[in-house]
Amino acid sequence: MEFDGDALTIDLSMSKEEIKEFEAFVRPRIDYIDRIEIVDGGILKSSALLALLMSLKKTRRELIIPFLEKGVTVSPAYGTIHWICHDKTRTS
């Protein structure tokens, strides 16, 4: 994990313990982070990281996470994973 100004860079290959530490670090600072980048070449080890990134995006909609916008990744543990990430807020 590397923090540079308003951008945070992480690796997909975090263990569950590292994901817990990442969450403990990022949650109190979420208002000061504008972008979360993923290091190229990382392999998703735990779906918990994907769930956490989705939760962070839902918590702070203006947060930019290019990895989520791709909508797909390939993991030796999980195969090809697709998801849909809607950025629009609901209006009633």
* pLDDT tens sequence across 24-80: 999 999 998 999 998 877 788 888 998 999 999 999 989 999 888 888 887 777 788
73-to-5, 26, 28, 47, 80 alpha-carbon distances in Å: 27, 23, 28, 11, 6
64-to-35, 38, 92 alpha-carbon distances in Å: 5, 11, 25
> What's the predicted TM-score (pTM) here?
0.80
92 pLDDT higher than 70: no
88 pLDDT higher than 70: no
